[in-house]
Chains A and B, each alone.
Chain A
Amino acid sequence: MIKLRVNGKSVAVAAEPDTPLLWAIREHLKLTGTKYGCGAGHCGACVVHVDGRAVKSCQLSLSRAAGSDVTTIEGLSPDASHPLQKAWIAEQVPQCGYCQSGQIMKAVELLEKNPHPSRDQIVRHMDSVICRCGTYTRIVSAIQRAAGEV
């Protein structure tokens, strides 16, 4: 059993230490908002926060996440009321939606560190999360809309 905190709750996962955090979250804890896109650190669909940092959960083993504080999209706000979630709706960002949990979690990290990022800073920060539906321009608009509110 490996213990950690997920979305503010203590949990114990019965899985091998080298299990990627992604699969522990998705299939052991059944928090399926975090997505599998490549399993190799290339796409960012699996981004969650680990102790406040945006991390690709497919690249972090459960043992290394032990004892840490993990936040997934489900734990970002109780009712989709986070300013970025609201901005995402206002800009009608998602298309297929599959990458969007990763996009939002990555964007949260940015605005927490830098409440008023420039366009360049947004792009540099978000560049590691792929959106195959091409919602990039709307993601930038949504982050700009939410800037200052996080």
Chain B
Amino acid sequence: MGNIKLDTAQISRRHFLGGAAGLTFVISIGPKGTWLVADAAAKAPEYAIGAWVRITPDNQLTIITPAAEMGQGSMTGVPIALAEELDADWSTVTLEMAPADPATFGYNRRGGKVMRITGSRAIRSYFEQMRLAGAQVRKVLLQAAAEEWGVDASTLVTEPNTVVDRLNKRKLSYGEIASFATVPAAMPTVSTDELKKVSEFRLIGNPVPRADIPAKVDGSAKFSIDVQLPGMVYASTVHAPVQLAEPESWNDSEVRRIPGVIDVVRLDKGVAIVADTFEHVLAARRVLAVDWKKGAPAEGYDSEKALEQDYMAMAMDRQSPRRSVAETGDVTNAFASAVKVYKADFRSDYCYHAQMEPLNAVARFNAAGDKVEIWEGTQSPGGSRAAIADALEFEFEQVIHHQMYMGGAFGRRSITDYTIETALIARATKRPVKMIWTREEDLAFAMFRPQNLQCLEAALDDDGKIAGWRHCVIGDGDRLITSGINIEDYYTIPNRLIEQLGASHGIRLKHWRAVAHPFNIFAIESLVDEIAADQGLDPLEFRRKRLAMTPKAEAVFDAVEKLSNWHTPRPDGRALGLSVTERSGSLGAGVVEISLDRERGRIRVHKVWAAIDGGIIVQPDMARANVESGIVYGLSSVLKERATIKNGAVVQSNFHDYQVLKMSEAPEEIHVEFLDRETSPTGLGEIGNPFIGAAVANAFHALTGKRLYHMPFTPERVRAALQT
């Protein structure tokens, strides 16, 4: 495992191709997708070209990694797929972060090319394309060795970084080959059936340490907040308490009298203070008083009132415009002929990403003002670069983009509003600027996971099977409240109606890890558990007997049953809860073991077991870490996280009143098992998250006989539930 270079803007094509001895494989994006081509072909202008792999005579390999790193390990995991098919010796590999150039380094998505790493997409989107590229390079090396030895390439095999001629007992390292070979004018083609079988993998499935970890234990990993530039000044933006209100005026001369203040810049939705040091920025922030324009859409908005009253009124009103998300079978008839109908309503509050690194960026213009260099951590390097160019009325090429490590992202960083602000401030101030939102600002101007109400109904037929299913979700955010609402990946209920009722509050909303899955699955799997209990069946038995499960679902339930010893009684005061979820192509079932402090209303999750079908697991330990992380992140929102809006303004301001899970509240044990599969990898960054809500609520019912209908399960809500 090699070093890693993060200074992405340095990896221009010229840098990669220029001078270096050895073999450089460049990539061509043609109509058939991504193919490696020879350098000569690469020079043809009709191709979008970038470098992908370089092999130098000292037997060192450089692989470009296109996946933004936010802690999920993809910057290592994605190039492993290429290294696997290339039969690379991983210890000779250096990774270089790809520049923000989606035309070259993007994956195929909806007819275009993007580098956006959202929806747990890194491994699953790049896997095949990286493998094919690796196999192509290997073919070139085999052919070059065959020519050198005067044998047929089909008689040769590879071992890590080595071509082996077993018949004649000789070897050439990839480095040796690179010292004499040239990249052929036409690269060999490779089809998917020429790729390795799972049993032939050397790297995939075997532990490869993450490339970014060493720098994350000695403080040397660079986040954008760490960037230092000569002559750099500091900035911070103040946004309106009422989200998205625009500044009218402010006490400009007073602010400018604060020592060190250089500039006060008007932005569309805020006022930015620029000063020589960050402590001076903070001092000026305390003095700045802004009059905000009236009329922002969020004005007067009260989130608790909306959630407790308005949403239900909308749900009751037959005239409310509903959007059908999915409809199958004859739902009306299923309910009309039902032996029993179950109904339940569930609520979830706003959640904040709370990525550990407050949003920030660094920007520097050239003297002529027609080029800007950007340092930021983004989930969407290409999209961000384009958005920055757009905001500055620049061409894409006028923005030089340096991708940095992200101190957490969780969906927040695929929109680049913070970097656009930074660029505008740097342009106004004519100096290199490091702009940091304070934690308070990051929260006040947050983009939330929307709050919502869910109304569910299930119809039981005379076999006791669930034959009808209605689910309506009410809230703001359109698709941000509907993901995960379809159950067909795990249950096949014949008659279903899934609907959405939209509200609009003027509050900034965004994809939050697993988007709407956490609250939709909470509602779905809570109701299933409620019916099981009413029918006097073990929740697992109920699902097996009364819900037609998909084979994939059966398999994960079987696995988690064993893993958790589901049928073994727990000590007094402990209970288990069960739930399933799909996300990003993966399917998982999970069990939690909880206890309860009844007086204080505190639920404690001691142990978690999760069984997941994620296809081929490229890196088991990284995959496990992703699931562990999803579980803790999910549990945090299930037990604690809650943002509220009063009069259009976010009430909470920092980690004292927007609390996230601490170590003492985290599970003591997390056991993750991946099913042994040979299917393509699916997403794992969010699969650990959505099942936790229902699993905890169902365990709570097993322990107390009471149900929880509102996330998070705060002490007040827990105590109230105990009193029902």
Contacts and interface: CB of A to CB of B under 8 A. Distances in A.
Interface residues of A, number: 61
Given A127-B664, A134-B632, A43 B213 contact: no
A131 B356 contact: yes
A19 B566 CA distance: 55
A34 interface: yes
B357 to A, nearest CB: 5
Max chain A C-beta neighbours (<10 A), residue from B405, B628, B667:
B628
Contacts of A40: 439, 654-656
A133 B663 contact: no
A139 B71 CA distance: 15
A132 B654 contact: no
Interface in A30-72: 30-40, 42-43, 45, 72
Contacts of A98: 223, 355-357, 407-408
Contacts of A101: 219
B279 A20 contact: yes
For the residues of B in contact with A, the DSSP-based class is loop
A32 B226 contact: yes
B212 interface: yes
Interface string B407-433: 111100000000000000000000000
Contact of A100 (B217, B278, B629): B217
A16 B279 contact: yes
A133 B209 contact: no
A123 B663 contact: yes
Interface in B204-222: 209-210, 212-222
A109 to B, nearest CB: 15
Interface residues of B, number: 63
B136 interface: no
Contact of A134 (B70, B210, B628, B656): B628
Max chain B C-beta neighbours (<10 A), residue from A37, A95, A119, A134:
A134
A134 B218 contact: no
Nearest to B221: A97
Contacts of A99: 356
B357 A27 contact: no
Interface string A110-145: 000000000100011011111111111111100000
Contact of B219 (A20, A37, A72, A140): A72
For the residues of A in contact with B, the DSSP-based class is loop
A1 interface: no
Contacts of A104: 217
Contacts of B636: 134
Contacts of A85: 217-218
Nearest to A95: B71
Interface in B668-720: 668-670
A70 to B, nearest CB: 14
B216 A94 contact: yes
Nearest to B225: A36
A18 B259 CA distance: 14
Contacts of A11: none
Contacts of A20: 279
Given A33-B219, A132-B356, A39 B666 contact: no
Contact of A80 (B218, B407, B664, B667): B218
Interface in B323-378: 354-358
B219 A23 contact: no
A15 B260 CA distance: 11
Contact of B633 (A26, A27, A132): A132
Interface string A73-101: 11011001000010011001111111111
Nearest to B670: A137
Contact of B278 (A27, A35, A133): A27
Contacts of B225: 32, 35-36
Contact of B277 (A15, A45, A100, A134): A15
A137 B213 CA distance: 17
Contact of A96 (B217, B220, B357): B357
A57 to B, nearest CB: 13
Contacts of A45: 356
B625 interface: yes
Contacts of A36: 225, 358, 436
Contacts of A30: 228
Given A40-B656, A98-B357, A130-B662, A89 B217 contact: yes
A134 B661 contact: yes
A124 to B, nearest CB: 7
Interface in B196-243: 209-210, 212-223, 225-226, 228, 234
B634 to A, nearest CB: 9
A148 to B, nearest CB: 19
A134 B629 contact: yes
B414 to A, nearest CB: 15
B350 to A, nearest CB: 17
A79 to B, nearest CB: 8
A26 B357 CA distance: 14
B406 interface: yes
B356 A96 contact: yes
A88 B670 CA distance: 18
B507 interface: no
Interface string B582-607: 00000000000000000000000000
A134 B405 contact: no
A41 B221 CA distance: 23
B530 interface: no
A35 to B, nearest CB: 7
A38 B654 contact: yes
Contacts of B632: 133-134, 136
A35 B670 CA distance: 28
A76 B277 CA distance: 27
B631 interface: yes
A89 B219 contact: no
Contact of A136 (B216, B222, B666): B666
A76 to B, nearest CB: 7
Contacts of A137: 628, 666-670
B375 to A, nearest CB: 12
Max chain B C-beta neighbours (<10 A), residue from A73, A100, A133, A136:
A133
A108 B656 CA distance: 25
Contacts of B277: 15, 19, 23, 27-28
Contact of B663 (A37, A80, A97, A139): A139
Nearest to A139: B663
Nearest to B619: A92
B697 to A, nearest CB: 20
Contact of A133 (B213, B214, B226, B356): B356
B655 A95 contact: no
A32 to B, nearest CB: 4
Q: Which 7 A-B pairs have the closest CB atoms?
A: A33-B219, A134-B632, A98-B407, A97-B216, A95-B71, A96-B71, A32-B226
23 contacts: A27-B234, A35-B356, A37-B439, A39-B438, A43-B655, A74-B218, A74-B219, A89-B213, A89-B214, A92-B621, A94-B212, A95-B71, A96-B356, A96-B408, A97-B71, A97-B405, A98-B408, A132-B355, A132-B408, A133-B408, A137-B628, A137-B666, A138-B625
Given A89-B209, A127-B662, A134-B629, 14 more contacts: A32-B219, A37-B439, A45-B356, A74-B220, A80-B217, A93-B217, A95-B73, A96-B355, A96-B356, A97-B216, A98-B223, A131-B356, A132-B356, A137-B670
